[in-house]
Amino acid sequence: GAGVSQTPSNKVTEKGKYVELRCDPISGHTALYWYRQSLGQGPEFLIYFQGTGAADDSGLPNDRFFAVRPEGSVSTLKIQRTERGDSAVYLCASSPGTSVGDTQYFGPGTRLTVL
Amino acid sequence: AQSVTQPDIHITVSEGASLELRCNYSYGATPYLFWYVQSPGQGLQLLLKYFSGDTLVQGIKGFEAEFKRSQSSFNLRKPSVHWSDAAEYFCAVGPDNFNKFYFGSGTKLNVKP
Q: Which residues of chain B make contact with A106, given a CB cutoff of 8 A?
A: 36, 43-45
Higher pLDDT, A36 or B96: A36
Over its C-alpha atoms, chain B yields an Rg (Å, rounded) of 13
pLDDT at B96: 72
pLDDT at B27: 84
CA distance A35 to A38: 10
Most distant CA pair in chain A: distance in Å? 41
Specify whether the CB–CB gap between A91 and A26 falls below 8 A: no
Nearest by CB to A4, from B6, B43, B106: name it.
B43
Helix (H, G, I), strand (E, B) or coil at B70: helix
Q: Which residues of chain A make contact with B94, given a CB cutoff of 8 A?
A: 101
Q: What percent of chain B has pLDDT over 70?
A: 98
pLDDT band at B98 (very low <50, low <70, confident <90, very high): low
pLDDT at B48: 96
Beta-bridge partner residues of A106 = A93
Given an 8 Å threshold on Cβ–Cβ distance, is A31 in contact with B98? no
Nearest by CB to A41, from B41, B94, B105: name it.
B105
Give me the amino acid identity at B105. Answer: S
CA-CA-CA-CA dihedral for A37, B68, B54, A105, to nearest 10: 0
How far does the CA of residue B86 sit from the closest CA of chain A (Å)? Answer: 16
Specify whether the CB–CB gap between A90 and A98 falls below 8 A: no
CA angle B41, A3, B106 (to 5 degrees): 40
Per the document, the length of chain B is 113
Specify whether the CB–CB gap between A46 and A77 falls below 8 A: yes
How far does the CA of residue B98 sit from the closest CA of chain A (Å)? Answer: 6
Given an 8 Å threshold on Cβ–Cβ distance, is B45 in contact with A43? no
Q: Which residues of chain B make contact with A109, given a CB cutoff of 8 A?
A: 43
Q: Which residues of chain B make contact with A35, given a CB cutoff of 8 A?
A: 103
